[in-house]
Structure 1
Amino acid sequence: MVKCASGGLPRFVENPELRVPDFRYVVDYIQTLPYVDAERIGVLGVCGGGGYAFNATMTDYRLKCCVGITAVNFGRLVRESFGGFDPVGSLEKMDKQRTLESQGADRFVSPYLPPTVEEAKKMTSDPDLIEATEYYKTSRGQKPCGATSGLFSFNSAAVAWDAFNYAEVIMTRPFIAVVGDIPGGFGAYRDGHEIYGRAASKEKELLVLPGVSHYQLYDEPKAVQAALEKVLPFLKKHLGEAK
């Protein structure tokens, strides 16, 4: 039996108001470790984790720099494609569902992806959705406790959240945003350009890799290598060399 999840209910909650503080708790902890230099702590996030990483860097200056790999602003995603581009209607439905659940109804867990690649290709031509299904629903990226669903009634916090809120004022740390130039429905290409354009950081870089899609930056060797050729020197510059 594989035990790889925490206890408690409800499950499948994707709440940025809980996710971003987790970064701060990690910094709290690792600074207590004797082999960690508190002046050499940075953060790297991928996909939704990249959006969270940018937001954490904006609000916790103990993080000296940030790397966003095909970073996605989860709040925008929930307001737009995940919510049918109808955030007000989504909130109304979430409220009704949460009321039902608080009074004993079964929780409604929304599947973010089709069950198979074949089903995904029947539904859409969008590269992000097809490649996400290929990654998360096959042995390529599927894990015993990996979740590709979300508790619908608890998404209301995400609707009102924005990873880049006040970036023009408080995003001051150096960063590099890495995206592929094949745009998809999850919006990393757009979000990379947005944080680059809005951030107040004096040292910032947007790396756009030609012929690369969102999920190729997860584990496709050529795409990952191209990203690392820029990311590793960036990290060495801002965090120093390991002793």
Structure 2
Amino acid sequence: MSDITIKHINYRNLGWDTAANLYLPAGFDPAGQYPAIVSTHPIGSCKEQTSGNVYGAGLAREGFVVLAFDASFQGASGGEPRFVEDPSIRVSDIRFAIDYLMTLPYVDPACIGAIGICGGGAYTVHAAITDHRIKALVSITGVNFGRLIREGFSQFDPLSALQAMAAQRTAEARGGARQVINYLPTSVEEGRKAGVTDIDVLEATEYYRTPRGQQPNGATSGLFSFNSAAFGWDAFLHAEVLLTQPLLVVMGDKPGGFGAYRDGWEIYGRAASTDKQMFVAEGWSHYDLYDKPEPVAQAMAQMVPFLRKHLS
């Protein structure tokens, strides 16, 4: 990546530090003014995976300043206990990322955009609903974590899941060990042996469990007892009234169990944006859009002119 510069930075969040990578374009001039993008990683992921090394680097090559950060309680960011996946805090992370960009003299404060992948795509949507410093946004194979945890992640029995989480949280409050769950099998082979057939689970495992996408901080883990916070959350709440910024939805046409296909069409329909676009990468799946050159190139071919138009 000799054509761009990556700075490893930290900035203050609520009561801890956020770790992030700042991608700067080739020929970067600190005296200039640049449009900037916040890039939010998927659930269980980290800034060194698709949000940073693929889309962050790609947008920096197109002249944008890009901030790819680790979620609170995850990756190299601070926060205890570890592996909390709380949608409200994840959305707050995006606001703190924008705060940081607003302190940089070379970032044009009127030209802030946001992108997110998988769960990060829906978190980005929710952030834009109430933070109109975001002037344009892109959801890449975005998944509404609230909907997913009420459905597939709880085996379509959310009340039983909530009861189990409540019991576990009480046990932990009384000194018991934290229960950290892994969202994925240890390998594709183990998943198939266990009867897994869903394309999203198998392709996620192939991405996160092999050298293709594996990173030390891409833990694909969640603190079971704290997952209850997501059950009452909807990434798209009030989008019909408050999501007015230009919106681009990118997804593949191979639907899987995580539901990006249905969620993509839902937010496209619900958003109040007068400029909203849908791009469906034909023949490609959710995890193809993480890093495979052809579908990523298709996504970038839509994103770059869209972001340039609205962040200039």
Output the TM-score relative to the length of structure 2. Answer: 0.74
- The equivalent residue for 2:301 is 229
Shift of 1:121: 2.4
In the TM superposition, what are the counterparts of 1:190-209 in structure 2 within 5 Å?
190-209=262-281
Structure 1 spans left out of the alignment, 5+ residues: none
In the TM superposition, what are the counterparts of 1:3-82 in structure 2 within 5 Å?
5-82=76-153
- The equivalent residue for 1:188 is 260
Matched, 1:91 2:162: yes
In the TM superposition, what are the counterparts of 1:83-232 in structure 2 within 5 Å?
83-122=154-193, 123-232=195-304
- Aligned CA-pair RMSD: 1.3
Aligned length: 238
In structure 1, C-alpha distance between the alignment counterparts of 2:89 and 2:121, rounded to whole Å: 15
In structure 2, C-alpha distance between the alignment counterparts of 1:177 and 1:111, rounded to whole Å: 28
Amino acid at match of 2:88: E
Deviations 1:21-75 (A, max 9, x none): 1111111121111101011000010111101001001110000010011011111
- Secondary structure at the aligned position of 1:53 is classed as helix
- Secondary structure at the aligned position of 2:285 is classed as coil
Deviations 1:121-169 (A, max 9, x none): 2322211000000000111111112211111100111111110011111
Shift of 1:7: 4.8
Amino acid at match of 1:23: I
Moved more, 230-239 or 116-125: 116-125
In structure 1, C-alpha distance between the alignment counterparts of 2:77 and 2:310, rounded to whole Å: 34
Percent of residue pairs identical? 59
In structure 2, C-alpha distance between the alignment counterparts of 1:9 and 1:68, rounded to whole Å: 28
Amino acid at match of 1:161: W
In structure 1, C-alpha distance between the alignment counterparts of 2:103 and 2:137, rounded to whole Å: 21
- Secondary structure at the aligned position of 1:180 is classed as strand
In structure 2, C-alpha distance between the alignment counterparts of 1:169 and 1:145, rounded to whole Å: 37
Amino acid at match of 2:276: K
In structure 2, C-alpha distance between the alignment counterparts of 1:155 and 1:113, rounded to whole Å: 16
In structure 1, C-alpha distance between the alignment counterparts of 2:78 and 2:94, rounded to whole Å: 20
Amino acid at match of 2:275: E
Shift of the 66–92 alpha-carbon distance from structure 1 to 2, 3 Å rule, reads same
Question: Which one has more relative contact order, counting CA pairs under 8 Å at least 6 apart?
Answer: 1
Structure 2 spans left out of the alignment, 5+ residues: 1-18, 20-74
More helix by share: 1
In structure 1, C-alpha distance between the alignment counterparts of 2:128 and 2:154, rounded to whole Å: 27
Shift of 1:187: 0.5
Instruction: Please identify runs of 4+ aligned residues in structure 1 that moved more than 2 A.
Output: 3-9
- Secondary structure at the aligned position of 1:154 is classed as helix
Shift of the 8–18 alpha-carbon distance from structure 1 to 2, 3 Å rule, reads closer
